[in-house]
C-alpha cells in the first residue's frame, strides 16, 4: 500500500511540475542508481524538495526535515510517505543524526541543504556543518546541486506564470576525513568546499556569500577549461 501511495504522489508531482513550471535539468548522469550518497542543494523555496527528489532515479531517498512541519497534516503525510527523518532543531538530535548516518551506510540517498533553512536573500547564505559531518560519518560522496529560478516561484505560479527553473547537478566528490584534533576547523573547511561546489553550479547572483571565494573561482575556471 505504501509503495502505491509513493508512486501516486510522485506521478502527481510530475504532472503538476509539467503543467505549472518550465524545468531545465543539467547533469542527471551524475546521479548513481546504487550506492549511498548525499545530494546537497541550495535552498530558496519549498518547491525544490519535490523537484530534486523526482529527478533522482531511486526509491531509497530520505532527508532531514524539521519537526515543526509535523503541524502541517499534508506536509507530514508527504514526509512520512517519502521516508523522511524528523529532526528536532531545538537540540542536538542524536537519534535523527544516527538514522541519517545509518541510511547512508546502508546504501541510501540523503537529500540535504547545507544552509539548513531557506535563504531570505535569494542567494547562498553561510552554511552549517551538518552535511559535512554526515558525509564523514556515512563515508559517502556528495553530489552538489545548484537550483535557480525557484525564488518566489510560488508567487509566479499563483499568478498563472510558469517560472523557468534550472537544476544543475555537479560531479560527485569525496571530502577529506575530518581531523579529530581540529574537528570544528576541519568541518568548516569541508562545509566551505561543499558550498563552493554548489556555488560553481549557479549564476553569479545566486552565489551569495560564496561568490568571491577563491575556491568557487577555481572551480569556475576549471569548468571553462573543459
Please indicate whether residue 49 or residue 136 has the higher confidence score (pLDDT). 136
As beta bridge partners, residue 41 has: 145
d(CA 20, CA 161): 8
Closest CA relative to residue 114, chosen from 222, 208, 180: 208
Contacts of 221 (CB under 8 A, 6+ apart): none
Residue 217, domain extent: 2-225
- For residue 49, the surrounding DSSP H or E stretch is helix 48-55
Residue with cell 554548489: 198
Residue 226 has pLDDT above 90, yes or no: no
Question: CA 162 to CA 155: how far, in whole Å?
Answer: 10
Q: What is the pLDDT of residues 83-122, one digit of tens each?
A: 889 988 777 788 999 999 999 999 999 999 999 888 998 8
Where residue 76 sits, what CATH number does that domain have?
Answer: 3.40.1130.10
What is the C-alpha to C-alpha distance for residues 215 and 209, in angstroms, rounded to an integer? 12
Q: What is the end-to-end Cα distance of the chain in Å, rounded?
A: 47
- pLDDT band for 6, please (50, 70, 90 cuts): low
* pLDDT of res. 3: 59
Q: Is the dihedral of CA 115, 81, 51, 120 positive or negative?
A: negative
- Percent above pLDDT 70 for the chain: 97
Nearest of 69, 55, 134, 128 to residue 102 by alpha carbon: 134
pLDDT band of 33, cuts 50, 70, 90: very high
**Mean pLDDT along residues 180-190:** 95
For residue 5, pLDDT beyond 70: no
Q: How many domains does the chain have?
A: 1
Q: Residue 83 and residue 60: Cα distance in Å, rounded?
A: 8
Report CA torsion sign: 213, 199, 41, 37.
negative
**Is the pTM of the predicted complex or chain greater than 0.85?**
yes
The rounded distance, in Å, linking the Cα atoms of 100 and 106 is: 10
Q: Which tens digit of pLDDT belongs to each residue from 134-168?
A: 999 999 999 999 999 888 777 777 777 888 889 99
Pairing type for strands 109-112 and 61-66 reads parallel
* Secondary element (H or E) of residue 66: strand 61-66
- Angle of CA points 152, 153, 157, to nearest 5°: 125
* 204's grid cell: 553569479
What is the arithmetic mean of pLDDT over 15-33? 89
pLDDT, position 8 = 72
55's grid cell: 529527478
Answer yes or no: are the C-beta atoms of 44 and 203 closer than 8 Å: no
Q: What is the mean pLDDT of residues 161-186?
A: 93
pLDDT at 219 over 90: yes
Amino acid at each position: 500500500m505504501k509503495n502505491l501511495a509513493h508512486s501516486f504522489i510522485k506521478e502527481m508531482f510530475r504532472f503538476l511540475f509539467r503543467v505549472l513550471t518550465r524545468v531545465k535539468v543539467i547533469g542527471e548522469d551524475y546521479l548513481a542508481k546504487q550506492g549511498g550518497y548525499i545530494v546537497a542543494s541550495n535552498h530558496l523555496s519549498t518547491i525544490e524538495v519535490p523537484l530534486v527528489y523526482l529527478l533522482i532515479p531511486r526509491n531509497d531517498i530520505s532527508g532531514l526535515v524539521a519537526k515543526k512541519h509535523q503541524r502541517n497534516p499534508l506536509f507530514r503525510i508527504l514526509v512520512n510517505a517519502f521516508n523522511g527523518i524528523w529532526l528536532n532543531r531545538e537540540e542536538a538530535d542524536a537519534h535523527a543524526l544516527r538514522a541519517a548516518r545509518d541510511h547512508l551506510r546502508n546504501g541510501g540517498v540523503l537529500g540535504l541543504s547545507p544552509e539548513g533553512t531557506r535563504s531570505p536573500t535569494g542567494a547562498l547564505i553561510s552554511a552549517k556543518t551538518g552535511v559535512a559531518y554526515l558525509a564523514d560519518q556515512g563515508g559517502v560522496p556528495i553530489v552538489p546541486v545548484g537550483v535557480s529560478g525557484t525564488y518566489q516561484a510560488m508567487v509566479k505560479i499563483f499568478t498563472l506564470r510558469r517560472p523557468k527553473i534550472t537544476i544543475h547537478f555537479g560531479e560527485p566528490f569525496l571530502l577529506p576525513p575530518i581531523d579529530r584534533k581540529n574537528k570544528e576547523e576541519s568541518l568548516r573547511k569541508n562545509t566551505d568546499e561543499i558550498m563552493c561546489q554548489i556555488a560553481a553550479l549557479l549564476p553569479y547572483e545566486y552565489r551569495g556569500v560564496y561568490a568571491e571565494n577563491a575556491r568557487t573561482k577555481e572551480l569556475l575556471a576549471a569548468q571553462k577549461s573543459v
